[in-house]
Structure 1
Amino acid sequence: MQRLLVLACSIVLVDTLFHSALVPLIPYFTEEFGLSKLGVGVLSGAFGAGVLVGSVPGGYLVSRAGVKVSAISGFGIFSVTSIVFAFAESGWLLMLARFGEGFGSALSWIAAFTWVITNTEDGRRGQAIGTLMSSAVVGALLGPVVGSVAATVGLVPTFLTVAALGLALAAWIYATPAPAPNPDRPFFPMLMKLFDRRLVTGMWLVTLSPLLFGAPVVLAPLALDSLSWGAVAIGAVFLVAAGLEAVAQPLLGRWTDGAGFKRPLVVGLSGSLLLLLAFPFTGSYGFAVAALVVLAAVFFNGSVTPGTALFSRASEDAGLDQAIVFSAVNLAWATGSAFGAPLAGAVSDLGGPAYGDALAYLLLAAVCAAALLNIARREKLA
């Protein structure tokens, strides 16, 4: 089990590298291709859109062909799209590469989570999910470093190296024994069971995290760039943020296993609301923006681990296959990722230079407040 967890954590870590590598490069692409904040949001959200489209095919592939086939296919796509990204000379080709990366990520991510959770007892699933999420954070931690390196030495050598890493991991997956798939279980009819109240709540909690974090991913780098912070400094902010979240997620998983779902969610959503209300007042102070980004990495992502654990338990009670569970989780995360950054960019453009960023943060604060009220008034979640 320990070796499997190491492999799954490696899969999840590499999956997130390309996603977060964009952050320090946002000012560069804005200048190089003349992208507006909406264009930057679409570029950032293209990864989530790819995951959104790939989630159901990923779950189906895991269910029918097995975790190894799905994971290897995902990393094949990962490597190809990394090469495309390295040589892209237009904004639309960058967006296409990130969309393809997201699609490949859906295949390998679903495989990794299904592989681990089917081999983990119920009382330890929160911790297992937290560990996998922590690996995702480490990938997000290394991503800005990769982006900063790319800004320094060039896109081509950096992302060709990333592509080689994806191929090496695919070879590791191929050499690892895996359980046979169960193609006899009906896949699409079981998808219809996802509308149970607990399942919908779990999916929404997973969606909320990337939806909220889409705002600082787009707006904070541009705010720091306007204050003369370079790509390396911006990458360092997100590096520290991801490092703190990497420590927090396994602890959050243990807390969820011990205390249930409600208390961690209320704390996470309350902290997120306060941060969203604080962001509009820090636009002229670089270190204040940086500090809020670091805290947001913990609180904005505080709903993912308990939300995923809640969804996994409720899905098992409903008799769903774990491939369907994590296909749905991926779908939920991808929805927030696909719409969070473009929404923040569009609202910011609409509000103009003076009020746009504040308007985006306040709109998301209203969404967060509604989610907090819904969770707080519920007597129990499981």
Structure 2
Amino acid sequence: MAITSSLDSFALLSGLHANPEKTNIYMAGIRDNIKQEILTVTGYTEGLFPFRYLGVPLNVGKLNKTMFADLIAKVQKVLNHWSTYKLSYAGKVSLINSVIFGLEQFWCSTLLIPKGVLKLITKFCRRFLWDSEESHRKLIMKSWDSCCAPYTEGGFNIKEILARNKCIICKWIWGITQHSDSIWTNWNYAYNIKSGDFWTLQKKNTHSESWMSILLGCIQLSLLYDKFRRKGNPISWGATVWHRAVLPKHSVFLMLDMQQKLATIDKLNHRGISLVNRCVLCKADNETHKHLFFQCIFSAAIWHQVLHWLRMQHRTSKLSKEVHWIAGKKVRKHWKAQWFSSCLGATVYSLWEERNIRIFQGLEHDVDYVVKRIKYFVRIRLLSVNSPSKEGEIIGSLNA
């Protein structure tokens, strides 16, 4: 009768009446005779675990991979749809960071997702980023862990899903420790924490999956995402590569160039992909990273014109060292420093683009055409990121 009175009180206060045909009741640790009595009084049918609430799977035991089939299917569907479009690496990184992680945001904020599910989502994202099936993994020159590193450590700043999941769970810990005024916090203090200390609370088999996740987080986690992710070695040239004066798609290729992660023919041969090793730009030597971007006659001619446009002196024999040394300097806010960063990214991208055009399309452009294209990229980018008051100075210097 107490149950009936509670339901009547709820209906009286809220004006809402539970529909027995659409409502299930879930019970655990109750004797069969009492369970049957409750079902008779309420008129509800008994629900079985696992079930979904607001799309999130709930279970009295441990959640398994099959319970996240909807999330996996949704992520896979979105990635397969995007794969039909011609997107740059920078565009793919942006989509992964925004849309894909937005899909699992609600799930991550509720409970710790099994590692098997997170690894599967990560595999889909890696395959989408590099346009590579499992049989073509030799074409992937940069590991996913290094892609997830921040810009200052040579990565693409893709957020690790597991680290994000743990970081979001921490907000529940924060709510508990700050005694936030919520029904959820008050309920946990009444039934789980009671008079004990949250930080020394022991896990029990009777705890729910979400509460076990929070206690696990309390033991293993720190306060910020930066504490959860894998750490890498800082790089001195990250500010140059990811400067706002560099087009995003240029930044990605410049980062791969600085780390020698582009799929040049010598690297593909080393990984067991047999190709005739010949530089398509000069047709005079084998294609290696150092030769393609700095020692090739065609590349050197382009660098000569670009550096002359930048009003910089250089010696072709030491061009590689000079470019890497300049890229390692701290970038200032003056637009002339932006000029260098933008030229560096546009030149590397244009050389790689010209190389691929010659291989896959059979077309060839001369040095002047490539240099004009580089200058076009740089002019448009510098004028878009600087204030209109500097427009006259920038145009005058670039055209000089």
TM-score of the superposed pair, with normalisation by structure 1: 0.30
Structure of greater Rg: 2
